[in-house]
């Protein structure tokens, strides 16, 4: 059993979908669960639909969604022959699922409506791709992962109910392999026990693949990307970036935690728990070796450079100049958990706490307002967080030259700079 995951860039055009079929032909006798993301920039487009709807711009939301409908219908028309009419009917049913919401009036939190609207992207892409593969003789069964992945109701960042999901996989997925060698399903989404759609966090398709891998005791999980493997820096920013062909679970977790766009941060634990190797392979050239992530120790890797832009720094100053001690720090962590905010960097002083987080304006503002009950709060924005793993003095000097350093934290393996 293998689990494959194809991201949005791998299915953003008819030609890319044909390449996906070519890759699947390379694994003709393996049982496979194939997890697929929404096509290209569909998730971004659906986010705009959700925002327009929630802000009572109904006509704009419907117009934006109409454009998404046409894109998918055109893709299906280009790819499909014998199953074109049947697939159009299935797509129309999915369109209606969203349009019912768009004709309603928002009465719940934005995150709820986000999930009901944005989840449709993966359902549309997999419907088309499943039909195309069947036409090409790659026989598969399409499954709605919302019938399999049971989650809580933490919309936009839902947690998996592992017990119920495991039971669903045994009852609804495993029997499919009596008749088919391949299941086509969606990443990123699930559903509550009230059948309300949920999403697992942005870029959560990697995590979906890992959940399937864990619960199916897969031989391996393969993530197909448009790069040659996991690189030590973003090649779009650093042309000299190199592929790291072997990594262990600890290293990839560290990289993901600090913001490297390699795999979703929650992906590794389900695989590490069962020692399932994770491969990151090149979608455009599937014969390249790519990167394998497993328990094995690795040779000394090159410096790994990670840059996160759009950072906000909250300066939390004690109102009465009393020392920042246990209760104040405890209160901060409580607020971060309550507001579902991840701190990328925290530094304490005698009378000040500094917290760096992604600059998501609504969340930063809510955190600042809540913290003002016990702190004097100032917020600084338009900052960048530079993280260097396995740093050298030379690479630190090169990366910080000419920059204004706001904060610095350092350990034997990792150094971080918050830069203005």
The vertex-157 CA angle with 148 and 385, nearest 5°, equals 140
- Please state, rounded to an integer, the average pLDDT across all residues of the chain: 94
Residue of higher predicted confidence among 48 and 342: 48
> Residue 373's pLDDT is what?
87
pLDDT at position 96, please? 97
pTM above 0.75, yes or no: yes
Whether the predicted pLDDT of 326 surpasses 80: no
Tokens of 256: 């993901």
- In the predicted structure, residue 213 carries a pLDDT above the cut 70: yes
Q: Which residues contact 172 (CB under 8 A, 6 or more apart)?
A: 143, 147, 148
Task: Please report which confidence band the pLDDT of residue 311 belongs to, taking 50, 70 and 90 as the band edges.
Answer: very high
Give residue 379's pLDDT.
94
Domain ranges of the chain: 2-225, 304-419
pLDDT at 352: 87
Mean pLDDT along residues 299-326? 86
Q: Is the pLDDT of residue 302 over 80?
A: yes
Task: Pick one of 3.40.50.620, 3.30.2130.10, 3.40.50.300, 3.20.20.70 as the CATH number of 304-419.
Answer: 3.30.2130.10
Averaged pLDDT, 382-408? 95
Q: What is the pLDDT of residues 218-269, one digit of tens each?
A: 999 999 998 899 999 998 899 999 999 999 999 998 998 898 888 877 899 9
Q: Given a cut of 90, is residue 321 above it in pLDDT?
A: no
Residue 297 has pLDDT above 70, yes or no: no
Give the number of other Cβ atoms within 10 Å of residue 241's Cβ. 17
What CA–CA distance (Å, rounded) separates 262 from 244? 12
Confidence of residue 323 (pLDDT cuts 50, 70, 90): confident
Q: Is 299 a residue whose pLDDT tops 80?
A: no
Contact by Cβ (8 Å): 78, 70:
no
Distance CA 412, CA 188 (A): 35
pLDDT tens column, 337-367: 988 888 999 998 888 889 999 998 688 988 9
Which residues lie closer than 8 Å to 260 by C-beta, 6 or more apart? 304, 306
Least confident of 44-53, 131-140, 258-267, 311-320: 258-267
> pLDDT for 218-228, tens place per residue?
999 999 998 89
Record: fold of 2-225 = Carbamate kinase (3.40.1160)
Strand partners, 347: 354
Q: Sorting pLDDT into bands at 50, 70 and 90, what band is 410?
A: very high
Question: pLDDT grade, residue 408 (50/70/90)?
Answer: very high
Report pLDDT digits (tens) over 145-164: 999 999 999 999 999 999 99
Among candidates 250, 294, 239, which has minimal Cα distance to 271?
Answer: 294
Of the chain, the percentage scoring pLDDT greater than 70 comes to 99
Contacts of 398 (CB under 8 A, 6+ apart): none
Q: Compute how many other C-beta atoms are within 10 angstroms of the C-beta atom of residue 99.
A: 16
Q: Indicate the pLDDT class of residue 202, thresholds 50, 70 and 90.
A: confident
Nearest to 137 by CA among 3, 57, 234, 25: 25
pLDDT value, residue 8: 93
pLDDT, mean of residues 369-375: 89
Q: In which band, very low, low, confident or very high, does the pLDDT at 78 lie, cut at 50, 70 and 90?
A: very high
Q: Is the pLDDT of residue 300 over 80?
A: no
As a whole-number percent, the residues of the chain with pLDDT over 90 amount to: 82
Strand 220-225 relative to strand 2-6, pairing: parallel
pLDDT of residue 259: 86
């Amino acid at each position: 059993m293998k689990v494959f995951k194809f991201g949005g860039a791998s299915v953003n055009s008819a030609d890319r979908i044909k390449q996906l079929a070519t890759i699947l032909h390379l694994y003709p006798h393996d049982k496979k669960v194939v997890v697929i993301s929404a096509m290209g920039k569909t998730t971004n487009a659906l986010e705009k639909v959700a925002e327009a709807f929630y802000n009572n711009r109904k006509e704009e939301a419907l117009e934006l969604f109409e454009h998404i409908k046409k894109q998918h219908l055109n893709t299906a028309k280009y790819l499909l022959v014998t199953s074109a009419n049947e697939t159009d009917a299935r797509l129309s049913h999915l369109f209606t699922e969203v349009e019912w919401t768009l004709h309603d009036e928002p009465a719940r939190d934005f995150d709820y409506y986000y999930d009901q609207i944005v989840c449709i992207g993966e359902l549309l892409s997999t419907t088309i791709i499943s039909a195309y593969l069947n036409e090409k003789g790659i026989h598969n069964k399409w499954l709605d992962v919302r019938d399999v992945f049971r989650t809580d109701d933490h919309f936009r960042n839902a947690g998996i109910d592992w017990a119920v999901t495991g039971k669903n996989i045994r009852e609804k997925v495993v029997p499919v392999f009596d008749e088919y060698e391949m299941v086509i399903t969606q990443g990123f989404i699930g559903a509550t026990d009230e059948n309300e759609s949920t999403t697992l966090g942005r870029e959560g398709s990697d995590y979906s693949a890992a959940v399937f891998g864990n619960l199916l005791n897969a031989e391996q999980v393969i993530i197909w990307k448009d790069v040659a493997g996991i690189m030590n820096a973003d090649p779009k920013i650093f042309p000299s970036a190199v592929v790291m062909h072997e990594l262990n679970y600890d290293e990839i977790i560290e990289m993901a935690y600090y913001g490297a766009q390699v795999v979703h941060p929650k992906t590794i634990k389900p695989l590490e728990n069962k020692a399932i190797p994770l491969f990151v392979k090149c979608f455009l050239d599937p014969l390249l070796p790519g990167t394998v992530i497993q328990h094995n120790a690795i040779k000394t890797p090159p410096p790994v450079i990670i840059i996160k832009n759009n950072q906000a720094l909250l300066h939390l100053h004690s109102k009465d100049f009393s020392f920042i001690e246990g209760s104040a720090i405890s209160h901060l962590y409580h607020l971060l958990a309550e507001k579902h905010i991840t701190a990328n960097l925290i530094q304490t002083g005698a009378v000040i706490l500094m917290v760096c987080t992604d600059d998501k304006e609504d969340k930063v503002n809510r955190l600042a307002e809540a913290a003002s009950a016990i702190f004097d709060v100032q917020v600084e924005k338009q900052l960048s967080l530079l993280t260097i793993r396995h740093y050298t003095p030379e690479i630190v000097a090169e990366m910080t030259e000419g920059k204004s350093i706001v904060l610095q934290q350092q350990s034997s393996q990792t150094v971080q700079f918050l830069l203005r």
